[in-house]
Amino acid sequence: MSLLEVRDLHVRFGQTAAVRGADIVVERGETHCIVGESGCGKSVTSLAVMGLLAKGAERRAARMAFDGIDLLPMNERALSRLRGDRIAMIFQEPMTSLNPAYTVGSQMAEVRTRHKGGTRRAALDRAEELLGRVGITAPGLRLGQFPHQLSGGLRQRVMIAMALMNDPELLIADEPTTALDVTIQAQILRLLAQLQAELGLGLMLITHDLGVVARVATRVSVMYAGQVVETATTAELFANPRHPYTRGLLDCLPVPGKLPPGSQLGTIPGMVPKLTEGFRGCGFRSRCAYAQPACEADIPLYGTTHLSRCVLSA
């Protein structure tokens, strides 16, 4: 049984279809990256899994299960018992996701006592241990500090430590290093990879950065215009991308050593289509060099292990 299984997820905000076909499976002990450009639906997908969509959003899916437990019929109460406990989440902006009015220690302890009970003292001890584990020096001192007293890199470490308070089985991280410097990014990603290997977590990592994907992912799902358009193991996706969008995206990157400096970078002409009601078929067809009439109909994911939502892969 997969740790997380999402089949044919759709999310609509009024007239706009934000997600119109996302299939994501996360296994225990693997890092599954969801990659795509702004507006492709990658963050909405993760929020839909957690039941954190804004009011007014419509969500439907063929299946959405965590460790075999069906998430679809769950009410808010049942979901909130799961969130922060067996499923934890890290967001991009550690400044806005930590409460500025409470100390690091009290925010971390609350996560523990709320789900597992026990004393505040025991929870603080655990918080201190975890802060040390994520590489924060003088963790005892940090417990008494407020978020504004910490640097961006430290805050993100606090977020990670907080996410680990209840030994989650699934960790969803939405652009966890986007706001950080490259040196700090490397430290945080290394830490996440280490923790994931030690604790056997399933990690769902959402990012726009193909460099991050290449270095940390076991499997990759590429999203475009609300759909997962390609899913494969990382080595397979980079060596043998099938969907024209994935190929276009890889060509846009300046890769030191592969592309001589100053040479023309590949581009993807055109723009993302407006996903209004009634939009059917491949979202990439208006920008695709291989578009044909068949692209206007709904296209399934073709393949068995390397999946591609493209008529050319049929």
Partner 1 sequence: MTPAIEIRNLAKRFNVKQGFFGKPREVRAVDGVNLRLEEGATLGIVGESGCGKSTLAKLILGLLAPTEGDVLVAGQSLGALDRRARARLIQPVFQDPFSSLNPRRRVVDVVAMPLVAQGGLSGAEIRAQSLAMLERVGISAEMAGRYPAQLSGGQRQRVAIARALVLRPRILLCDEPTSALDVSVQAQILNLLAELRRDMGITTLFISHNLAVVEHVADAVAVMYLGRFVEYAPAKELFAAPRHPYTRALLASVLTPEPGLGVPDVGLGDAMPDPSNIPPGCRFHPRCPVAIARCSTEAPPLVGGAECHLLTP
For residue 238, the tally of other CB atoms under 10 A from its CB is: 16
**Is residue 187 close enough to count as binding partner 1 by CB under 8 A?**
yes
d(CA 155, CA 148): 9
d(CA 283, CA 267): 17
Q: How far is the CB of 260 from partner 1 (least distance, A)?
A: 9
Binding segment for partner 1 among 65-73, 122-130, 163-171, 230-238 (CB under 8 A)? 230-238
- Report the residue number, 87 or 150, with the smaller CB distance to partner 1: 150
- Report the residue number, 163 or 192, with the smaller CB distance to partner 1: 192
CA dihedral 79, 80, 84, 89 (to 10 degrees): 60
Residue choice 186, 291, 301, 312 for contact with partner 1 (CB under 8 A): 186
Residue choice 68, 101, 137, 293 for contact with partner 1 (CB under 8 A): 137
What are the Cα distances from residue 154, in Å, to 195, 198, 295? 17, 21, 47
Q: How far is CA 189 from the centre of its chain?
A: 13
**Is residue 305 close enough to count as binding partner 1 by CB under 8 A?**
no
Assess contact for 145 and 104: CB atoms under 8 A. yes
What are the Cα distances from residue 295, in Å, to 195, 221, 226? 42, 20, 16
Binding segment for partner 1 among 64-72, 86-94, 96-104, 244-252 (CB under 8 A)? 244-252
Residue choice 215, 273, 279, 301 for contact with partner 1 (CB under 8 A): 215
Q: Which residues in 12-71 contact partner 1 (CB under 8 A)?
A: 37-38
Residue choice 56, 68, 264, 289 for contact with partner 1 (CB under 8 A): 264
Binding segment for partner 1 among 47-55, 97-105, 114-122, 181-189 (CB under 8 A)? 181-189
**Is residue 273 close enough to count as binding partner 1 by CB under 8 A?**
no
Question: At residue 306, what is the residue type?
Answer: H
Q: How far is the CB of 281 from partner 1 (least distance, A)?
A: 20
Query: Which of 304, 307, 303, 273 is CA-nearest to residue 291?
Result: 273
**Is residue 197 close enough to count as binding partner 1 by CB under 8 A?**
no
Query: Which of 286, 281, 283 is CA-nearest to residue 270?
Result: 286
Q: Which residues bind partner 1 (CB under 8 A)?
A: 37-38, 135-137, 151-154, 181-187, 189-190, 193, 208-217, 234-235, 238-239, 248-257, 259, 261-262, 264-268, 271
